[in-house]
Amino acid sequence: MFAATGIGNGSTYRMIPLIQRTYAQQVGADGSPARLAAEQRSPKEASAVIGIAGAVGALGGFLIPITFSAPWIADPVDAVKSAFWVFTAFYGVCLAVTWLFYLRPRSVMARAGV
């Protein structure tokens, strides 16, 4: 689970600028004012999305310890086991969504060469 956390974190911050740039390159014809404007906006939009991803990550850094040590839980060992299963399933869902939208051969990003 911890390896998936690190891989997911690194790939998120690596993929966001590439995705934004790819979207910008799909706007209008090469050299058109619309594409140039989209390419100029792309780094700012990527920065905003990275900020949101960082905020969600910080929220996870708060919620995960709460699930491990909540005082209202009768059996802490069982709670930790359940939490690890939930987190593992969540990372599996994230991996599947990333593959579906960005990595599979017929996805928009794969066709764009990202």
Percent of the chain with pLDDT over 90: 20
> Band of the pLDDT at 102, cuts 50, 70, 90?
confident
**pLDDT over 80 (residue 47):** yes
Mean pLDDT of the chain: 83
**pLDDT over 80 (residue 114):** no
- Measured distance CA(75)–CA(96) in Å, rounded: 32
Q: Tell me the C-alpha to C-alpha distance, in Å, between residue 28 and each of 15, 19, 40, 96, 113.
A: 22, 17, 14, 31, 18
- Measured distance CA(8)–CA(16) in Å, rounded: 12
pLDDT at 109 (0 to 100): 65
Contact 82, 93 (CB under 8 A): no
Mean pLDDT of 52-76: 79
